[in-house]
A and B are shown apart, each in its own frame.
Chain A
């Protein structure tokens, strides 16, 4: 009798633990890596802003954007969209440049209200145009992140408003970079 019970305990143990053998070793999880910053536009009579204004640049540590367990296991990082949007209401137009590490990433231009709905590269927006030098810098930084978890990016913007004056309070300009990394789970 004891033998039978022991045999069944053994069988149970085997069945309960062999599940681990069917899990893929080294599978890749596509990890979201959002990089986003908003820049306040100062209220008043000045209709323009620059990367040297207070609150700029916004420095983002990429490691803070993903689960810590994925750090040091990233194999590839890529971006798949850029978006620009605004916060607040302004009667007039806006145009300017968004920077990554002080290199122009994209230019934007249009009515302020156009940007109340995020304008995206993927959406084929006519209000934003990516800049090759900035895209190259973005790709460089993302690739660097696979080997250096301390990587940071600096986002900033310049721009000018045309129309309503003085500039009302509560306006912001936002830049979003949508990226993904492949984290290997061993």
Chain B
């Protein structure tokens, strides 16, 4: 590696560390967390399920943008990846239960991504009303950003580490988030004679904590392929993935048991990735689309080899 490249790498890695560490902080309970506590375990499911689906898809995105892994030799890369999952119209409303005995027994109201919560009148006893909370997010794409470090290579394998902690946003409406993940890839093309594509397989694990109440875990296994044409890199892959969101809090709903401790699975199980990148020496630029139950996009910039 040239001396100028060494300086660049050091600067980039230092910048990444400063960024990730600089956002660490402690905050009081946020509006999101206080809003969730108004729901019992049954009711919160529909309200927050889209978060499980969208964050679940986000945390698995952007790990690779090239399947070429040297068999041996030191390799270091630093990426900043932005990913976002598309919020579909169907994720803005859900069918909620009214309190036991209420007529009607269900009503359609806003999820966390919806608009105004619905007020429902009891059709048998006049004067009795019940209401769902309004949505908190007004967005068509649910974003996330994470820096990651890729270190290799040993016997055609490399390791990717990602970590970020982001501050509370929106005047303490959304809590501090902390994400970390680790992935291991292995070069498969080295075992194939004259393979036209670079091929690799990877395994990934992610943990993502949102405030004190929400805890995501996810893992993925994928097969990756890429083809370099001068500075252009075309890449893609197929993945099996699983994500789950655990919610733990004390509900204030007097009609249900106070302790809520539940796990919601993310919708995405399989992911098909198509991407394109540019390799400009030590600088890489990449973008990909991920298709599955949740449509997700990721893009970023990388430094290194």
Contact = CB atoms under 8 A, between A and B. Distances in A.
B129 A12 contact: no
Contacts of B174: 19-20, 23
Contact of A185 (B82, B143, B173): B173
B54 to A, nearest CB: 12
A58 interface: no
A17 B173 CA distance: 13
Interface string B152-192: 00000000000000110111011000000000000000000
B125 A30 contact: no
Given A23-B169, A122-B99, A80 B122 contact: yes
A28 B117 contact: yes
Interface residues of B, number: 51
A107 B128 CA distance: 18
A135 B137 CA distance: 36
Nearest to A22: B139
Interface stretch (A147-155, A165-173, A174-182): A174-182
A89 to B, nearest CB: 24
B71 interface: no
B151 interface: no
Nearest to A15: B145
B35 A36 contact: no
Given A30-B38, A122-B122, A124-B101, A16 B23 contact: yes
Contacts of B143: 15, 19
Contacts of B82: 15
B194 interface: no
Contacts of A139: 127
Contact of A176 (B23, B128, B136, B254): B254
Given A22-B137, A24-B136, A32-B254, A8 B129 contact: no
A24 B4 CA distance: 46
Interface in A60-100: 66-67, 69-70, 78-81
A54 interface: no
Contact of A178 (B15, B254, B301): B254
Interface stretch (B5-13, B238-246, B290-298): B5-13
A1 B7 contact: yes
A23 B127 contact: no
Interface string B30-70: 01001100100000000000000000000000000000000
Interface in B222-264: 252-255
B132 interface: yes
Interface in B1-29: 4, 7-8, 11-12, 15, 19, 23
B117 A23 contact: no
A121 B128 contact: yes
Interface in A1-55: 1-2, 4-5, 8-9, 11-12, 15-17, 19-20, 22-24, 27-32, 34, 36
B130 interface: yes
B108 interface: no
A157 interface: no
A156 interface: no
A20 B170 contact: yes
B34 A67 contact: yes
Nearest to A82: B128
A29 B102 contact: no
A122 B102 contact: yes
Given A23-B138, A32-B253, A122-B101, A80 B128 contact: yes
20 contacts: A9-B15, A12-B145, A20-B174, A22-B139, A24-B135, A24-B137, A28-B134, A30-B38, A31-B38, A32-B252, A32-B254, A36-B254, A70-B34, A78-B128, A80-B102, A80-B128, A81-B128, A81-B255, A121-B125, A178-B99
Top 7 A-B pairs, shortest CB-CB distance: A122-B101, A22-B139, A34-B254, A23-B170, A27-B134, A20-B170, A123-B101
